[in-house]
């Protein structure tokens, strides 16, 4: 009897301990993020006192300044364009390829599958320098022939590079799903007189909607948040930039100028879209994890 009581109270102690640890971990995540939101509406003079003081009021001027004078508005537009374009290209290219690689037998299929699998191990940032050199050399050549190069400092090229380097992961994820579908669907469609393209487009793609959404989510996050490739390929000091690169420049400038308010407003502008998206689709994202486990 006494022993039982003992284990029961031990049990309760264990549970309390677990709660304390979990809550502590949650706090270390929530508090810094919330702090940035709070700091983004503080006036500059408020940054010299206690960092935990609540803002005196809503100083929206930080956002106006970040949007206009720090160029965050146009950077955001660039980011939206690049992300949307890269996602579009990626889906148009990867969906049919993944479909063929997983559902047709042809010579060279094994080689292609292995090549794309190997691509999973190549990290984009390992090859960002040769990509840059290739585009630079291309520009030099274009300038010689046409008098004008357009490969560097070009948002469209950046989107193409994003899409191309996301192919291995996306094809891997999509083929995994396509391979699980029974072949009867296409057989039935062929008998009804549909061609290969029609069967793929009208029968298979609609069925793959959940995994297509997973692909869009993961790649949206990686394109939106990416900054190394963007910084390298859009290196012109006066040219267009994507939001994270603009923010990074702002952060490095703020270290001397001490206009913290604008910097934190910029941080909020970068993370707000991803946070909103996350709140809307958090179930999809954390459940897509098992398939997305190999994200580079």
Partner 1 sequence: MFSVAAGRRTARRVSVDLGKEQAVMKKDRKMSGFLVLCLAPAVILFFIFMIVPTFNVFRISLYEKGAYTPDETFVGLANFKTLLTDASFIRSMQNMILLVVVVTIITFAFALVFAGILTREKLKGQNFFRVVFYIPNILSVVVISGIFSAIYKPENGMLNSIIGLFRDMTNPILWKGQSLVMVSIIIAMVWQAIGYYMVMYMASMASVPQSLYESAGLDGAGRLTQFFQITIPLIWTNIRTTLTFFIISTINMAFLFVKAMTSGGPNGASDVALNYMYSQKDAGLYGYSMAIGVVIFLFSFALSALVNKVTERETLEF
| Interface of this chain with partner 1, residues 231 to 270, rule: CB under 8 A | 244-245, 247-248, 251, 263-264, 267, 270
Q: Is 52 in the site for partner 1 (CB under 8 A)?
A: yes
| Residues 128, 232 contacting (CB under 8 angstroms) | yes
Q: Is 213 in the site for partner 1 (CB under 8 A)?
A: no
Is the dihedral angle over the CA atoms 67, 68, 72, 77 positive or is it negative?
positive
- Cβ count near 194 (within 10 Å): 16
Query: How wide is the angle at C-alpha 187 spanned by C-alphas 185 and 188, nearest 5°?
Result: 70
Q: Is 60 in the site for partner 1 (CB under 8 A)?
A: no
The CB-of-115 to partner 1 minimum distance in angstroms stands at: 7
- Cβ count near 168 (within 10 Å): 20
Query: How wide is the angle at C-alpha 260 spanned by C-alphas 258 and 261, nearest 5°?
Result: 140
The CB-of-17 to partner 1 minimum distance in angstroms stands at: 10
> Quick one: angle between helices 260-287 and 243-257, nearest 10?
150
Return the residues of window 70-109 that contact partner 1 according to CB under 8 A. 92-94, 96-97, 99-101, 104, 106-109
Interacting span for partner 1 (CB under 8 A) from 55-63, 177-185, 192-200, 204-212: 192-200
CA–CA distance, 17 with 186 (Å, rounded to integer): 55
- Cβ count near 214 (within 10 Å): 23
Return the residues of window 131-170 that contact partner 1 according to CB under 8 A. 131-134, 160-161, 163-165, 167-168
Q: Residue 97 or residue 142: which is nearer to partner 1 going by CB?
A: 97
The CB-of-227 to partner 1 minimum distance in angstroms stands at: 5
Q: Residue 148 or residue 255: which is nearer to partner 1 going by CB?
A: 255
Residue selected from 20, 25, 207, 280 as contacting partner 1 according to rule CB under 8 A: 25
Q: Residue 67 or residue 151: which is nearer to partner 1 going by CB?
A: 151
| Residues 287, 213 contacting (CB under 8 angstroms) | no
Q: Is 171 in the site for partner 1 (CB under 8 A)?
A: yes
């Amino acid at each position: 009897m006494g022993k039982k009581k003992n284990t029961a109270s031990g049990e309760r102690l264990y549970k309390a301990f677990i709660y304390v640890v979990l809550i502590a971990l949650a706090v270390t995540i929530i508090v810094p993020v919330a702090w940035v939101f709070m700091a983004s509406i503080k006036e500059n003079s408020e940054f010299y006192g206690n960092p935990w003081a609540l803002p005196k009021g809503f100083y929206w001027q930080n956002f106006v300044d970040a949007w206009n004078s720090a160029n965050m508005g146009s950077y955001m537009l660039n980011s939206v364009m690049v992300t949307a374009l890269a996602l579009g290209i990626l889906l148009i290219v990867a969906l049919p390829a993944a479909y063929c690689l997983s559902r047709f037998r042809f010579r060279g299929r094994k080689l292609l599958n292995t090549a794309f699998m190997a691509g999973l191990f190549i990290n984009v940032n390992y090859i960002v320098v040769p990509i840059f050199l290739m585009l630079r050399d291309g520009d030099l050549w274009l300038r010689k022939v046409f008098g004008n190069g357009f490969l560097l400092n070009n948002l469209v090229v950046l989107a193409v590079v994003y899409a191309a380097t996301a192919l291995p992961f996306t094809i891997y994820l999509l083929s995994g799903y396509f391979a699980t579908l029974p072949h009867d669907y296409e057989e039935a469609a062929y008998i009804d007189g549909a061609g290969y393209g029609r069967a793929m487009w009208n029968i298979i793609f609609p069925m793959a909607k959940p995994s297509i959404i997973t692909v869009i989510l993961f790649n949206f996050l990686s394109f939106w948040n990416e900054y190394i490739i963007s910084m390298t390929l859009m290196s012109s000091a006066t040219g267009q930039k994507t939001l994270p690169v603009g923010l990074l420049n702002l952060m490095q400038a703020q270290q001397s100028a001490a206009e913290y308010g604008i910097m934190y407003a910029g941080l909020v502008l970068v993370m707000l879209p991803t946070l909103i998206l996350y709140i809307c689709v958090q179930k999809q994202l954390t459940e897509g994890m098992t398939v997305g486990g190999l994200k580079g």
